[in-house]
Structure 1
């Protein structure tokens, strides 16, 4: 029996979620692709945590030379099964290390994936290593949610996700408020037994990401509430931030 991945393992998310990731992810990638294609121009682009290619494939179809880094072999296999998937070079490894040869005109991390790095030091490593492979005029784009303190009130949370005639799915969270980290399990009870899907994140506020960027030699160039370019404000629940070399 293969040992189960542990929290903090770069492959954990992909190994647990790859089989039905595309079916469970309903977000339209088109706005992100439009935004990223404009930034990449004719240069090379690198997607960290490229996954099944939800963004990379349509971006490549726009003529952008996309490469990827992915922690999970299973995710990469799903990418390779799709039309055009074999044409995207992918390195299997820890995205915090950015194991790719630059320079890149664009490096990007979408859909909260930066938070899958559950240690502050590794998040900082990611910024520093992105700066290492970024073109002097390049852009590093990060999309994440803005943490909502009410979500992790009292350090734990239980949600009912689905109830049918023969199954029930809940999600349970345990928060470490000092570390800004949570561990969760999505648990399904059905006739076949109990099914577990673990997940962990270290969440950050935008100002903390700006500090990591500054320490890596990057500066915030622009920040929007979403891919459409809506202004970011105090009531924004998410952000798309564009960082560039400070030099």
Structure 2
């Protein structure tokens, strides 16, 4: 038999060089509260147990969830981002495993979590289908029976309508940030190029994503033993419909 395949970790996102400014520059404006509320509500429907954030980063979502009284753990590959988490109030109390969250979970992680989530487009930073499949499989193995796996993603059709052009990025610090997005159908990728005015220097940040349709994600989930429980049109919980440009999908590990 061929050796077991080890998922390729995504290259460390260029924006981790700006870990101290990440929450100001790259977190969606006003998106934290709705994301936290959605996940906190969902945790009440999950079996008892801790939550796990894949790509916990600076703790933008995990820390408010912990303040709600939920036990939250994390996985991340960036020491710089986790250092920002540790510097925040309560950040040292959250257990974080350093590594690639698409990799096979350790034996003591299996069947541990009530809810596993990945937010802010982080799932799409896994840039091959095989590694995205591995992420689904790893999430399923980490879940308790009846547990939930939650991810967010752009709809490919919506991406295609804004495939070119440059727009300013609203950010809480009012810094100068521009984003140009390009679509690469041959690889099922989209690339976001950011230009950031950092002090008196212009800096360039490039992040590559792999997009997938809801149907493809559902097939990945089924291959991992998960089934779709609910799909919303965003973290606010609005209905998913033809006019949606974004979705939040909730998968369940059957009890």
Q: TM-score range by the shorter chain?
A: 0.7 to 0.9
2:194 pairs with 183, 186, 189, which one?
186
Higher strand share: 1
1:112 pairs with 117, 121, 128, which one?
121
Bigger Cα displacement from structure 2, 188-197 vs 62-71: 188-197
Partner Cα distance (1:188, 1:67) in 2: 31
- CA displacement 1:51-78 (0-9 Å, x = unmatched): 1111100101111110001121100000
Shift of 1:188: 4.6
Could you list the runs of 4 or more consecutive aligned residues of structure 1 that deviate by over 6 angstroms after TM superposition? Answer: none
Bigger Cα displacement from structure 2, 199-208 vs 31-40: 31-40
Structure with higher RCO (Cα < 8 A, 6+ apart): 2
Between the two proteins, the alignment pairs up a number of residues equal to 233
Unaligned 5+ residue runs, structure 1?
1-6
| Structure 1 match to 2:185 | 177
Check 1:182–1:44 CA distance in 2 against 1; reply closer, same or farther (3 A cut).
same
- CA displacement 1:19-39 (0-9 Å, x = unmatched): 211112223322222221233
Map 1:34-183; keep pairs closer than 5 Å.
34-41=37-44, 42-97=48-103, 99=105, 101-102=109-110, 103-147=112-156, 148=158, 149-152=160-163, 157-161=164-168, 170-183=178-191
2:225 pairs with 217, 227, 233, which one?
217
Provide the TM-score with structure 1 as the length reference.
0.85
Check 1:37–1:169 CA distance in 2 against 1; reply closer, same or farther (3 A cut).
closer
Partner Cα distance (2:201, 2:33) in 1: 38
Partner Cα distance (1:245, 1:106) in 2: 10
Provide the TM-score with structure 2 as the length reference.
0.82
Unaligned 5+ residue runs, structure 2?
1-7, 170-174
